[in-house]
Amino acid sequence: MERRALRSASRRLVEAMARRNVSPFTLTYSAFGMALLAAALLSLSTSWELFVPIGGLVYVAAGLLDALDGEVARKSGRVTAQGAYEDSVLDKFSEVAISIGLLLGPAGELEVLMFITGSLLVSYTRARAESLGVELAGVGFAERAERTLGLFAGTLVHAIWKEGLNLALALVGVFSYATAFHRYVVTRKALAEREAASGRG
């Protein structure tokens, strides 16, 4: 019920944006700007600890905007290769920026390292597989939405338990590594089957 309601609300929002001719690039750049703001807030959390949950909330808002740009592009018939490229690249810049903000602010070095390397591995394994013709959408648990929510949960817990954020980052890292390995296995199997079929032909 709740999931259907969320999908319905998202669909209405996308339709409204498409009717008002909102540019997908506006959403992409706005999401990136908000991610940079979230990183700045987290980096300043040593001076005011409430910047941690505020930064987490801003990062979630950035993620929501980022989820809408592709939908608006499809709805308004403005899907372009440039848009897809900029969206993907700015997503990675955003994750690097938020990791720097965490490192300069409330989080531990090892936990941030696990978070960012896991995130980049998840993205790379999908991008490389899809460049070889293997579709990996939905394969694995730790996609960007789940990683963002995990980080957000950690920023909320941080207000009452300082190590909660580090635990959340470490868990996101572990699930990301598992997702990357799962994608590696799926891709390897798909490529082996394709080559075997080609050899039989």
- One DSSP character per residue, 13-45 reads HHHHHHHTT--HHHHHHHHHHHHHHHHHHHHTT
For residue 134, give the 3-state DSSP assignment.
Answer: coil
Q: CA-to-CA distance for 172 and 116, rounded, in angstroms?
A: 9
- Catalytic residue (one of 66, 69, 87, 91): 91
Number of H helices, E strands in the chain: 7, 0
Task: Report pLDDT digits (tens) over 60-72.
Answer: 999 999 989 888 9
Evaluate whether 17 touches 69 at the Cβ level (below 8 Å).
no
Residues 6+ apart with CB under 8 A from 81: none
pTM: 0.90
Q: Residue 3's pLDDT band (boundaries 50, 70, 90)?
A: very low
pLDDT at 76 over 50: yes
Residues 6+ apart with CB under 8 A from 27: 17, 65, 66, 68, 69, 72
User: Which residue in 39, 25, 158, 131 sits closest to 83, CA to CA?
Assistant: 25
Q: CA-to-CA distance for 117 and 140, rounded, in angstroms?
A: 16
Domains and CATH numbers, the chain: 1-87 (1.20.120.1760), 107-201 (1.20.120.1760)
pLDDT at 200 over 70: no
DSSP string computed for 66-86: HHHHHHHHHHTT---HHHHHH
75 or 43: which leads in pLDDT: 43
b/e for 14-40, b at 16 or more Cβ within 10 A? beebbeeebebbebbebbbebbbbbbb
| 91 flagged as catalytic | yes
Task: Report pLDDT digits (tens) over 92-117.
Answer: 999 999 999 999 999 999 999 999 99
And the tokens for 71?
A: 């939908």
Q: State residue 20's pLDDT score.
A: 87
And the tokens for 46?
A: 């040593």
And the tokens for 104?
A: 């300069």
Task: Report pLDDT digits (tens) over 25-53.
Answer: 999 999 999 999 999 999 999 999 999 99
